[in-house]
């Protein structure tokens, strides 16, 4: 469906306006900062992925023969910390969000461009500390830092890793702050709340969580570091403290953090499904409001991570009940996306394939969440591979599929080039197959009772076959992730030049040139149409590009 | 352009400022005095009520939450407090019911 | 939009259409930032409330060992500094440059006084071995209103840990505030602020008031747990 | 290769069937939802694929439909919630007359001690068809006692007791795992639960032990001089311990609490925290002076003097009126 009209002459855009390292490192252009983020999170993605492969290799055989247990423990810790704090949380917001939020609402930039740059630097400082921590010994607590193991027992680099996450956390807060202010204050004339793309609604909801949740984990990390250094007793039962308090404070952020990862992805999927079905999104306001309710309800459910942790039975009941409240808006979204396909005119380009993949995997991930919210079942499956499978279906199957779909969808806008469609469809297929092969067996493993974070299962050889499937799948998945990186890089030089709107998509970002100029629009746009006006676009009633000066 | 904010302050706000200042000092003195009385379990309640009143005074008058032209800022404050209370209330609920099981 | 031709103010950044949009964005951004600050301190308040409920007597004993007069004086000092901040903004709005500068200096002096008193308090605690860590000691301290009952040193240590972390973070915010106000003073000196444009002053003021509000809660919670005996 | 390839765990406890039933119900419900969504997506994707000249039909949405797919899932969720809560309550309520086993977890081993005095490491022998209550604590970090075949898991925390129970229904040997990450050899902190026929179990039990745990506790009680204050009459500086366990106790500050395992434990290690009404906080702490195992023994002892009451013969006072009033007043381990 992509159309690649070659622009007549070399135009000035945000990429070629300035040259030199300085023009990138000191840029305040949200699009350039998005690219800085893109490069850095890709780097961390492959670091995290490297650890994932090592984990899978170790689990290929029951005995811990590839590495010793202590090394394995560091592997899964680094995998978790890097993937959660340095890839998934910044992934869509800091790259696609940074690039698109101002353009989609018709602004020249984010409200605070310098703070945006600062947030990237904080991310990089945190990232370098994390890398330094990893190469000089690493951490073996798991990304959850549970006390008192982290404060009084392990002798690994907790404080440094904590500081790295603390700093990266502030980078995340600043991104969220910037988005909220931008969405409130910088919308172009006519861009009312009900005309906002759902991508924006999703990022708005995400930002709320970043703003209100992240500070709590930041202060929790401060307490852990202080406890570790001085043995204050706040989380140490030997000194009168309660380790469960740590879990409460930690999950108050870290559960909503899952929605920081998945909500932007949902926003991407809304854009893609609407565009490739050539239809308005079904139930726009319900999809928009469900994003907000996921953000709000997301804060009410944290202790479902603690049903067997020694919490009170009554608190467990309340949190289980509340956990279902967050499942409802997620279900509403899935139904609305499905309904959007009805009577559409569906194209099967790579972004849409990723969106289909998202729908399938998120459905499975979400439904298995019901198992974990169900008290009686959670007791059996918590801390087993069932949980591992569930959250990978959400974070990788959901968040990462959305991220890749979005990267393909907006790649022509970002780079001004088309990616090779055939390869992209192949990669989408490989990722989908590899993913299911990796993680579906883990549901079965989990119900069989294989606990998480086991370096060695030589006393339980009955778990091996499923683990072999999983490792095989991970290899396929690895190929699926390398492919897009290769052809994206390839297309930057050899790809066909993209037209301004290769998908004939709605949305202000498509109504300026590809790649856009530094201030996005030649003149401030005035919005006179509803979101996703694909009927008008396809009937040719609306000229594309449509920018009223 | 910036008319509304200046018009807001056109009538001299100094009286308000000094009144609020005096009230805050009085509140501090009251907090201290109240802590010396034996009110049983109400000691903490009184302290928190006075503190909240003082905080409200600062927010409404010194931080101009009262005169803010839009409801947005109030919404920010209210929703932040909502989530804060949520954190405390749900965590406390666990601690409050733990010994009955 | 005609904003581009209209804007003579060099402080208007390129990506904003109007000065009003810029000012509203800045103050809204500050409020959002304060929301994150509320949650940042909120985690500590949550921990504090849980342990206070658990170990009330021990907390009361530990709290009583802190000098409440100093804490009260500090509260008053901060309240005065909040007043001088609003007066400085008022002076900027009404073109009273000298008053504005005077008030900014006064605010900073109050801030320094606060930190000085805080320092005295910390020094006392240090001498009494009430700083959590290896040298901590809180033996044979009676629980107020419960003669013959002694506080559990472990629980008292949790109180002091929270006391130092909370007041320490608050003091850190004061130090940052002093940094911001140094810059504001410099800008005011340079004549940057006019009745039309004094957004940084308002933003800095919001921050300062917020730090004041945190202290308004810290004072009764940390110093006055159970003093009526 | 496929001869050892189970897809379903052993079902060997009274709870396992209940958990499995709920699990199967959830698989059916979510399977139906998945099928519904997948069928719709695949059907729409094929049926409404792009055809030249056939434009998409715009549909804004439908509030009745939105309400339907909000309310119906909510209803289904409530059914799941209630069902799962009922199962959870059963899991978390140990039957009254259960056999007790004290569990002490440490990096990286399980130490288990039967009330009858048998000690085991990383292995627990239990009889089939009898309720077993585990009273667990950890010496260092958080662990989690997990027996997949029993569908039973409970975190084991330092500094307090957590309780779990099971009733094995099928003789055999089952995995015991530590499910909460606890450090380097976490994956080595495994063991087995051996479920035996009652007769075999009796034979195993008679294989010698140092006497029941409560007797060990009684010895420690005497050695530590507890009896000088906790006398069996009302003259002691500490409360009389006869008949205390499991009963409500009034504290000095007016609160009523139940004298459960955690309370007895706390009273030994942090005696000042909950003083019984009418007594002075004169008891020194035994934190650091007694091991976890000794605390367990003391708890077992305090329990035993409550369950058998005056029959222990230790106390004539328990039958005297003052003794009774002392009990009514609520007594406590000081």
Interface of B with D (CB under 8 A): 99, 101
Q: Chain C: residue nearest B6 by CA?
A: C93
Cβ contact D183:D158 at 8 Å: no
Residue range(s) defining the domain that contains residue C89:
34-223
Residue range(s) defining the domain that contains residue B77:
70-101
All partners of chain C with 3 or more CB pairs under 8 angstroms: A, B, D
Of A107, A177, A242, the CB nearest to C15: A107
All partners of chain D with 3 or more CB pairs under 8 angstroms: A, B, C
Cβ contact A547:A521 at 8 Å: yes
Chain D residues whose CB is inside 8 A of the B99 CB are 257-258, 262
CA-based nearest distance A398→chain C, Å = 28
Cβ contact C139:C153 at 8 Å: yes
All partners of chain A with 3 or more CB pairs under 8 angstroms: B, C, D
Q: Chain D: residue nearest C145 by CA?
A: D253
Residue contact C152–D280, C-beta within 8 A: no
Of C35, C94, C196, the CB nearest to B76: C35
- Of A144, A174, A179, the closest CA to residue A162 belongs to A144
**What pLDDT score does C222 carry?**
95
Q: Can you tell me the distance from the alpha carbon of D210 to that of D173, in angstroms, rounded to the nearest whole number?
A: 26
**What pLDDT score does B11 carry?**
57
CA-based nearest distance B90→chain A, Å = 8
Chain A residues whose CB is inside 8 A of the D191 CB are none
Residue contact B35–C68, C-beta within 8 A: yes
Residue contact D40–A341, C-beta within 8 A: yes
Chain D residues whose CB is inside 8 A of the B101 CB are 92
- Of A418, A267, A443, the closest CA to residue A349 belongs to A418
Contacts of A54 (CB under 8 A, 6+ apart): A66, A67, A75
Size of interface B-C (CB pairs under 8 A): 132
- Of A259, A207, A215, the closest CA to residue A94 belongs to A207
Residue contact D37–A334, C-beta within 8 A: yes
Mutation for testing the D interface, residue in C59, C145, C146, C156 having most D CBs under 10 Å? C146
The domain over range A25-538 is classified in CATH as 1.20.210.10: yes
Residue contact C43–A177, C-beta within 8 A: no
Cβ contact A273:A340 at 8 Å: yes
Interface confidence (ipTM) of the complex: 0.91
Running DSSP on this structure, what letter comes out for residue D2? G
- Give yes or no for A370 touching B (CB within 8 A): no
CA-based nearest distance A383→chain D, Å = 6
**What pLDDT score does A540 carry?**
72
Give residue-wise pLDDT tens across range D112-147.
999 888 899 999 999 999 999 999 999 999 999 999
Chain A residues whose CB is inside 8 A of the C55 CB are 240
D162-167, strands of its sheet edge to edge: D119-121, D109-114, D99-106, D131-138, D162-167
- Give yes or no for B97 touching A (CB within 8 A): yes
All partners of chain B with 3 or more CB pairs under 8 angstroms: A, C, D
Q: CA–CA distance from D92 to each of A317, A327, A377, C218, D152 (Å)?
A: 12, 26, 13, 39, 10
- Give yes or no for C155 touching A (CB within 8 A): yes
Interface of D with B (CB under 8 A): 92, 257-258, 262
For the segment D50-56, the average pLDDT, to the nearest whole number, is 88
B63 and B86 within one domain: no
Q: CA–CA distance from D123 to each of A395, B28, D61 (Å)?
A: 38, 62, 60
Chain A residues whose CB is inside 8 A of the C36 CB are 173, 177, 211-212, 214-215
Q: Is the dihedral of CA C108, C111, C115, C116 positive or negative?
A: positive
Mutation for testing the C interface, residue in D254, D272, D281, D286 having most C CBs under 10 Å? D272
- Of C127, C224, C87, C110, the closest CA to residue C177 belongs to C110
Asked if residue D332 has pLDDT above 80, the reply is: no
Tokens 């103050």 -> residue: C27
Residue A331 backbone class (left: φ over 0; alpha: ψ -120 to 50; beta: rest): alpha
B65 and B78 within one domain: no
Residue C129 backbone class (left: φ over 0; alpha: ψ -120 to 50; beta: rest): left
Q: What is the gyration radius of the CA atoms in chain C, in angstroms? A: 22
Residue contact B101–D92, C-beta within 8 A: yes
CA-based nearest distance C4→chain A, Å = 11
Q: CA–CA distance from D144 to each of A234, A309, A445, A446, C73 (Å)?
A: 22, 8, 18, 15, 50
A473-489 burial, b if ≥16 CB within 10 A, otherwise e? bbebbbebbebbeebbe
Q: Can you tell me the distance from the alpha carbon of B30 to that of D102, in angstroms, rounded to the nearest whole number?
A: 54
Q: Can you tell me the distance from the alpha carbon of C196 to that of A299, in angstroms, rounded to the nearest whole number?
A: 41
Q: What are phi and psi of C113, to 5 degrees?
A: -60, -45
Tokens 């003097």 -> residue: D305
Extract the residue ranges of chain A whose pLDDT is less than 50. 544-549
Q: Can you tell me the distance from the alpha carbon of A524 to that of A318, in angstroms, rounded to the nearest whole number?
A: 50
Residue contact C150–D270, C-beta within 8 A: no
Asked if residue C2 has pLDDT above 50, the reply is: no
Helices marked H in A374-463: 375-381, 385-392, 401-415, 421-448
**What pLDDT score does C3 carry?**
41
Three-class SS state of A375: helix
Structure tokens at A62: 């029951």
Q: How many domains does chain C have?
A: 1
Residue contact B93–A315, C-beta within 8 A: yes
Domains of chain D in start order, with CATH, are 9-38+66-210 (2.60.40.420), 213-329 (1.10.760.10)
Helices marked H in A136-237: 158-185, 198-230
Higher pLDDT: A121 or D300? It is: A121
B40 and B8 within one domain: yes
Tokens 């900027």 -> residue: C92
Count CB neighbours of C37 within 10 A.
19
Q: What string of H, E and C letters represents the secondary structure of A145-159?
A: CCCCHHHHHCCCCHH
Q: CA–CA distance from A31 to each of A28, A110, A413, A505 (Å)?
A: 9, 10, 11, 20
Spans of all domains in chain A:
25-538
Residue contact C39–A213, C-beta within 8 A: yes
Running DSSP on this structure, what letter comes out for residue A191? -
Q: Chain D: residue nearest A448 by CA?
A: D9
**What pLDDT score does D232 carry?**
75
B27 and B17 within one domain: yes
Of B6, B28, B37, the CB nearest to C75: B28
Cβ contact A547:A103 at 8 Å: no
Residue contact B99–D92, C-beta within 8 A: no
Of B87, B95, B99, the CB nearest to A252: B87
Mutation for testing the C interface, residue in A241, A243, A254 having most C CBs under 10 Å? A241
C26 within a domain of the structure (yes/no): no
Q: Can you tell me the distance from the alpha carbon of A79 to that of A144, in angstroms, rounded to the nearest whole number?
A: 12
Residue A461 backbone class (left: φ over 0; alpha: ψ -120 to 50; beta: rest): alpha
Contacts of D331 (CB under 8 A, 6+ apart): D239, D240, D241, D242, D244, D249, D276
B57 and B94 within one domain: no
Mutation for testing the A interface, residue in C39, C59, C129, C151 having most A CBs under 10 Å? C39
Give residue-wise pLDDT tens across range C65-120.
999 999 999 999 999 999 999 999 999 999 999 999 999 999 999 999 999 999 99
**What pLDDT score does B99 carry?**
67
B16 and B65 within one domain: yes
Give residue-wise pLDDT tens across range C140-157.
888 887 777 888 899 999
Q: Can you tell me the distance from the alpha carbon of A79 to that of A86, in angstroms, rounded to the nearest whole number?
A: 10
- Of C156, C186, C202, the closest CA to residue C54 belongs to C156
- Of A168, A232, A247, B35, the closest CA to residue C168 belongs to A232
- Give yes or no for D270 touching A (CB within 8 A): yes
Residue contact C43–A216, C-beta within 8 A: yes
Exposed / middle / buried, residue C10 (Cβ in 10 Å: 0-12, 13-18, 19+): exposed
Of C45, C197, C213, the CB nearest to B55: C213
Percent share of chain D, pLDDT over 90: 52
Give residue-wise pLDDT tens across range C9-18.
667 788 888 8
Confidence category of residue C200, pLDDT binned at 50, 70, 90: very high
Residue A307 backbone class (left: φ over 0; alpha: ψ -120 to 50; beta: rest): alpha
**What pLDDT score does D49 carry?**
93
Count CB neighbours of D199 within 10 A.
9
| CATH code (residue C218) | 1.20.120.80
B82 and B50 within one domain: no
pLDDT mean across residues, chain C: 91
Three-class SS state of D256: strand
B94 and B63 within one domain: no
Residue contact A248–B94, C-beta within 8 A: yes
- Of A264, A253, A214, the closest CA to residue A88 belongs to A264
Q: Can you tell me the distance from the alpha carbon of A446 to that of A394, in angstroms, rounded to the nearest whole number?
A: 16
Lowest mean pLDDT among A235-239, A541-545, B52-56, B59-63: A541-545
Cβ contact D268:D294 at 8 Å: no
- Show the CA angle centred on residue D143, arms to residues D140 and D144, nearest 5°: 155
- Give yes or no for C229 touching B (CB within 8 A): yes
- Of C186, C174, C180, C178, the closest CA to residue C202 belongs to C180
For the segment B58-74, the average pLDDT, to the nearest whole number, is 86
- Using a CB cutoff of 8 Å and minimum separation of 24, what contacts does A40-45 make? A40/A120, A40/A123, A40/A124, A40/A127, A41/A86, A41/A87, A41/A90, A41/A91, A41/A94, A41/A95, A42/A485, A44/A82, A44/A83, A44/A86, A44/A87, A44/A127, A45/A83, A45/A87, A45/A91, A45/A481
Concatenating the DSSP letter of every residue in D202-213 gives HHHHTS--SS-H
Q: CA–CA distance from A309 to each of A257, A305, D121 (Å)?
A: 20, 8, 23
Of D78, D144, D158, the CB nearest to A148: D158
């Amino acid at each position: 469906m992509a159309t690649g009209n070659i622009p007549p002459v070399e135009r000035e855009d945000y990429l070629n306006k300035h040259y030199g390292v300085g023009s990138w490192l000191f840029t305040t252009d949200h699009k350039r900062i998005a690219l800085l983020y893109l490069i850095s999170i890709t780097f961390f993605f492959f670091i995290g992925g490297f650890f994932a492969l090592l984990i899978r290799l170790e689990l290929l055989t029951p005995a811990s023969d590839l590495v010793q247990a202590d090394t394995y423990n560091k592997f899964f810790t680094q995998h978790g910390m890097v993937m959660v704090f340095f890839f998934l949380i910044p992934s869509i917001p800091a790259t696609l969000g940074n690039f698109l939020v101002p353009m989609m609402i018709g602004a020249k930039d984010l409200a605070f461009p310098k703070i945006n740059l600062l947030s990237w630097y904080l991310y990089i400082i945190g990232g370098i500390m994390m890398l330094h921590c990893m190469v000089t010994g690493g951490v073996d607590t798991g990304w959850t830092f549970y006390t008192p193991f982290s404060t009084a027992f392990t002798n690994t680099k907790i404080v440094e890793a904590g500081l790295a996450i603390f700093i990266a956390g502030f980078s995340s807060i600043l991104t969220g702050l910037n988005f909220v202010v931008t969405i409130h204050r910088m919308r172009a004339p006519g861009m009312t709340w009900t005309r906002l793309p759902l991508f924006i609604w999703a990022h708005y909801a995400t930002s709320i969580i970043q703003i209100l949740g992240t500070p709590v984990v930041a202060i929790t990390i401060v307490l852990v570091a202080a406890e570790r250094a001085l043995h204050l007793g706040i989380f140490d039962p030997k000194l009168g403290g309660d380790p469960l308090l740590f879990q409460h404070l930690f999950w108050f952020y870290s559960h909503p953090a899952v929605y920081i990862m998945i909500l932007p992805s949902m926003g991407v999927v809304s854009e893609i499904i609407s565009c490739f079905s050539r239809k308005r999104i079904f139930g726009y306001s319900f999809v928009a409001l469900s994003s907000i309710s996921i953000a709000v309800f997301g804060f009410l459910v944290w202790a479902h991570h603690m049903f067997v942790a020694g919490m009170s039975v009554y608190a467990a009941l309340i949190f289980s009940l509340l956990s279902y409240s967050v499942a409802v808006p997620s279900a509403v979204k899935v139904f609305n996306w499905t309904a959007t396909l009805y009577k559409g005119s569906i194209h099967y380009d790579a972004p849409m394939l990723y969106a289909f993949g998202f729908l399938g995997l998120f459905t499975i991930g979400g439904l298995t969440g019901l198992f974990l919210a169900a008290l009686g079942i959670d007791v059996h499956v918590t801390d087993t591979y069932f949980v591992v499978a569930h959250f990978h279906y959400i974070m990788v199957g959901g968040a990462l599929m959305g991220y890749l779909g979005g990267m393909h969808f907006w790649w022509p806008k970002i780079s001004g080039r088309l990616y090779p469609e055939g390869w992209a469809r192949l990669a989408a297929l490989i990722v989908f197959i590899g993913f299911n092969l990796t993680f579906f067996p883990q549901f079965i493993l989990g119900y069989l009772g294989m606990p998480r974070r086991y370096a060695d299962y030589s006393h339980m050889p009955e778990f091996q076959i499923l683990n072999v499937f999983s490792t095989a799948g991970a290899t396929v998945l690895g190929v699926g992730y390398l492919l897009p990186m290769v052809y994206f890089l390839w297309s930057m030089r050899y790809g066909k030049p993209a037209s301004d709107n290769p998908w004939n998509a709605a949305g202000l970002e498509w109504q300026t040139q590809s790649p856009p100029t530094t201030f996005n629009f030649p003149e401030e746009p005035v919005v006179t149409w509803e979101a996703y006006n694909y009927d008008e676009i396809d009937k040719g009633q609306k000229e594309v590009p449509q920018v009223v000066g | 352009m910036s008319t509304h904010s200046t018009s807001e302050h056109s009538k001299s706000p100094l009286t308000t400022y000094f009144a609020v200042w005096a009230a805050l000092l009085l509140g501090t003195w009251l907090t201290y005095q109240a802590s010396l009385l034996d009110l049983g379990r109400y000691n903490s309640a009184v302290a928190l009520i006075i503190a909240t009143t003082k905080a409200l005074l600062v927010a409404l008058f010194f931080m101009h939450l009262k005169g803010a032209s839009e409801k947005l800022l109030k919404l920010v404050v209210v929703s932040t407090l909502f989530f804060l209370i949520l954190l405390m209330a749900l965590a406390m609920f666990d601690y409050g019911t733990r010994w009955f099981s | 939009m005609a904003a581009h031709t209209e804007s003579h103010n060099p402080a208007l950044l390129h990506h904003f259409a109007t000065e009003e949009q810029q000012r509203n964005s800045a103050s809204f951004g500050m409020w959002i930032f304060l929301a994150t600050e509320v949650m940042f301190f909120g985690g500590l308040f949550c921990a504090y409330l849980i342990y206070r409920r658990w170990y009330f007597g021990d907390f009361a004993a530990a709290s009583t060992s802190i000098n409440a007069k100093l804490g009260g004086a500090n509260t008053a000092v901060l309240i005065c500094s909040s007043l001088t901040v609003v007066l400085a903004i008022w002076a900027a709005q009404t073109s009273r440059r000298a008053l504005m500068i005077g008030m900014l200096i006064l605010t900073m002096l109050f801030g320094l006084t606060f930190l000085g008193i805080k320092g005295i308090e910390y020094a006392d605690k240090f001498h009494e071995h009430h700083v959590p860590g290896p040298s901590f000691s809180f033996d044979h301290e009676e629980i107020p209103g419960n003669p013959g009952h002694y506080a559990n040193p472990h629980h008292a240590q949790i109180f002091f840990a929270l006391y130092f972390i909370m007041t320490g973070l608050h003091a850190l915010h004061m130090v940052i505030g002093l940094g911001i106000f140094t810059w504001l003073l410099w800008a005011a000196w340079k004549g940057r602020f006019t009745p039309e444009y004094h957004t940084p002053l308002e933003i800095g003021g919001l921050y300062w008031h917020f730090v004041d509000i945190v202290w308004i809660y810290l004072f009764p919670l940390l110093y006055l747990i159970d003093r009526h005996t | 290769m496929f001869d050892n390839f189970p897809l379903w765990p052993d079902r060997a406890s009274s709870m396992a069937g209940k958990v499995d039933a709920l699990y199967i119900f959830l698989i059916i419900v979510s399977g139906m939802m998945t099928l519904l969504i997948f069928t719709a997506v695949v059907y729409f994707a094929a049926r409404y694929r792009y055809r030249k000249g056939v434009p998409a039909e715009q549909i804004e949405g439908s509030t009745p439909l939105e309400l339907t797919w909000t309310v119906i899932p909510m209803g289904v969720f409530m059914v799941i919630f209630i069902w799962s809560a009922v199962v959870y309550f059963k899991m978390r309520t140990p039957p009254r007359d259960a056999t007790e086993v004290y569990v002490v977890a440490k990096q990286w081993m399980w130490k288990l001690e039967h009330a009858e005095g048998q000690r085991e490491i990383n292995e627990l022998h239990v009889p089939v068809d009898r309720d077993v209550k585990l009273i667990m604590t950890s010496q260092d970090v958080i662990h989690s006692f997990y027996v997949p075949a029993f569908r039973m898991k409970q975190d084991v925390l330092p500094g307090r007791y957590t309780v779990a129970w099971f009733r094995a229904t099928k003789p055999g040997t089952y995995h015991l795992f530590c499910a909460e990450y606890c450090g380097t050899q976490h994956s080595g902190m495994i063991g087995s639960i051996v479920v035996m026929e009652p007769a075999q179990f009796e034979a195993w039990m008679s294989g010698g032990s140092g006497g029941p745990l409560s007797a060990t506790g009684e010895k420690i009680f005497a050695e530590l001089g507890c009896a000088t204050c906790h006398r069996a009459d009302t003259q002691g500086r500490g409360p009389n311990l006869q008949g205390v366990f499991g009963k409500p106790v009034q504290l000095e500050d007016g609160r009523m609490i139940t004298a459960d395992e955690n309370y007895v434990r706390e009273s030994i290690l942090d005696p000042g925290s909950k003083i019984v009404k009418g007594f002075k906080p004169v008891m020194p702490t035994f934190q650091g002076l007694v091991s976890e195992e000794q605390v367990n023994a003391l708890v077992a002892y305090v329990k035993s003097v409550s369950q058998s009451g005056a029959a222990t013969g230790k106390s004539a006072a328990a039958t005297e009126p003052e003794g009774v009033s002392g009990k009514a007043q609520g007594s406590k381990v000081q």
